[in-house]
Amino acid sequence: MSGKPIISRTRLASLSPRAALALLLGVLALIGVGLALPPTSHTGGAPDGGDAVLYRQITARVAQGEHYYSAVALEHRASGYPLKPFTAVRPPFLAEATAMLGPTIADLLLRLLAVAAGVATAVRLAPKLRSPWREIAILLSATSGIVFMRSGMWVWHEIWAGLLITLALACRTERRWRLSVALGLAAALIRELAFPFLIVMAVAAWAGGARREMRAWIAAALITLACLALHMLAVDRIVRPSDVTSSGWLALGGWRFDLALARQSSLLIGLPAWVAAIATPLALLGWAAWPGRYALRVAASLGLWMTAFLLLGRPDNAYWGFLFAPLLPVGLAMAPPALLDLVTAARLRRSTLAARAG
């Protein structure tokens, strides 16, 4: 660790006073909106919740030898769940894998994945942070997956996808990126909401001049789209005219829904809603401000998801926050240096104006 440089300044230190002031006001505005319109108390993702029971029953049928889409049709109709459009049905990969493994092994693997993702994130960040922010980052990385340690959480597709993405980001380097591509592809095949991550990584590779890596991420995206097309055809074969149609996901939940998603993290799930209103903008600022391509990729992924979820997602979809629950809170470790640089840059404008007035 001693041989690696410790970063003392964030990318915000180079902002112009005007830009720094605008960004500071933007962060304060987000906090103000969150405090005025706190997220709903609805917290999805319990191991015994309605969706969890559905996924568990489908997996049990597959484990008994039933075809996945036949099991989906029976369980969705029995519970009144929609079968239209095809995105109302989860892709088959997680159910088929966990059906072979069994609940006990699936729980164990999920816990091991959570530990691996937390350790990899801490290892990636710790060498570049000064004390006490280094210790805070390690603590947040280590605790980000605690909520996933509960028995039965293996049923949630978003948890697997989020942890795979977290590990993919942490293990990716300029020379070693193939494992990262494989992990990202696995995440997108489990849950299509992870697809934007593949696009972020492809664009980042293109911007960095890594053409071979860019092509690999594009190939992963194309494989995901092909599998989604096959999934759509399979669902169409089991749908009846009388089947329930989803009410849609264009709910325009805005920042309030984003905060509900952010509360799915281990840090915020048990705390009052106003804590998420303050912590979420600061965590995003911390990731966006921290130098380096790793933090930039994390910030771009978080930003793309949270921008999309301003428009998409119903209140009962709060468990979508599991996608970025292992990553978002860790940004709080970088938030204090980012705020210091931001305030310092903004104050330069006041000093300049005072000098001109004098």
Is residue 356 situated within a structural domain?
no
Is residue 319 situated within a structural domain?
yes
Supply the pLDDT for residue 171.
95
CB 149: neighbour CB atoms within 10 A?
13
Total tally of structural domains belonging to the chain: 1
Place of tokens 């705390």: 271
Model pLDDT for residues 298-307, shown as the tens digit of each residue:
999 999 999 9
Beta-bridged to residue 84, according to DSSP, are: 245
- The alpha carbons of the chain give a radius of gyration, in whole angstroms, of 21
Is residue 5 situated within a structural domain?
no
Q: With a cut of 70, say whether residue 138 has pLDDT above it.
A: yes
Domain hosting residue 64, numbered range: 23-351
Place of tokens 């293996």: 154
Backbone dihedral angles phi then psi of residue 312, each to the nearest 5 degrees: -105, 140
Question: What whole-number distance in Å separates Cα of residue 284 and Cα of residue 258?
Answer: 12
Supply the pLDDT for residue 36.
93
Supply the pLDDT for residue 149.
87
Model pLDDT for residues 64-94, shown as the tens digit of each residue:
999 999 999 999 999 999 999 999 999 999 9
pTM of the entire predicted model: 0.92
Is residue 99 situated within a structural domain?
yes
Q: With a cut of 80, say whether residue 135 has pLDDT above it.
A: yes
Question: What whole-number distance in Å separates Cα of residue 200 and Cα of residue 42?
Answer: 30
Confidence of residue 353 (pLDDT cuts 50, 70, 90): very low
> Around 202, how many Cα atoms within 13 Å sit in the side-chain half-sphere?
15
For 90, left (φ over 0), alpha (ψ -120 to 50), or beta? beta
Model pLDDT for residues 3-25, shown as the tens digit of each residue:
455 655 889 988 888 899 999 99
Is residue 10 situated within a structural domain?
no
Supply the pLDDT for residue 37.
87
Q: Are 113 and 162 in contact (CB under 8 A)?
A: no
Token pair belonging to 122: 């801490």
Is residue 163 situated within a structural domain?
yes
Is residue 14 situated within a structural domain?
no
Between 92-106, 213-227, 332-346, the lowest mean confidence (pLDDT) is in 332-346
Q: With a cut of 90, say whether residue 210 has pLDDT above it.
A: yes
Cα end-to-end distance, the chain, whole Å: 48
Question: What whole-number distance in Å separates Cα of residue 247 and Cα of residue 81?
Answer: 11
Supply the pLDDT for residue 2.
42
Model pLDDT for residues 146-185, shown as the tens digit of each residue:
888 889 999 999 999 999 999 999 999 999 999 999 999 9
Q: Is 326 helix (H, G, I), strand (E, B) or coil?
A: coil
Altogether, the residues listed in the chain come to a count of 358
Is residue 2 situated within a structural domain?
no
Q: With a cut of 90, say whether residue 248 has pLDDT above it.
A: no
